[in-house]
Amino acid sequence: MAQCSLGYCYASGNGVVEDEAEAAKWFRKAAKQNSESAQYQLAPSVAVAKIKLSLDITFLCLGFSLLERFFDLLCCALQHSELQ
């Protein structure tokens, strides 16, 4: 399939300037037409995107937990200073 071949060209820089985004675009087009080779090429990027999203959510939750703890400590400090 020509779309998949074009994806390989962009991925490797064969005859064109290497461009991963452009390669992914052509692999996606080929994958939508059931090209197993294109689907195989896209699989790692999908896996990486899922891992990145998972890490983003984990760090976001950690950030909220730390922020919550900070405000708890701040409230305790303010209450303690009001008592004195």
Structure letter (DSSP) for residue 16: S
pLDDT of residue 44: 59
What are the pLDDT digits (tens) for 10-33? 888 889 898 888 888 888 888 888
Residues 6+ apart with CB under 8 A from 25: 7
Range of the domain at 79: 2-83
50 pLDDT higher than 70: no
* Number of domains observed in the structure of the chain: 1
Tokens of 18: 């290497």
Mean pLDDT of 52-59: 67
- Side chain identity, residue 37: S
- 23: buried, middle or exposed (CB in 10 Å: 19+, 13-18, 0-12)? buried
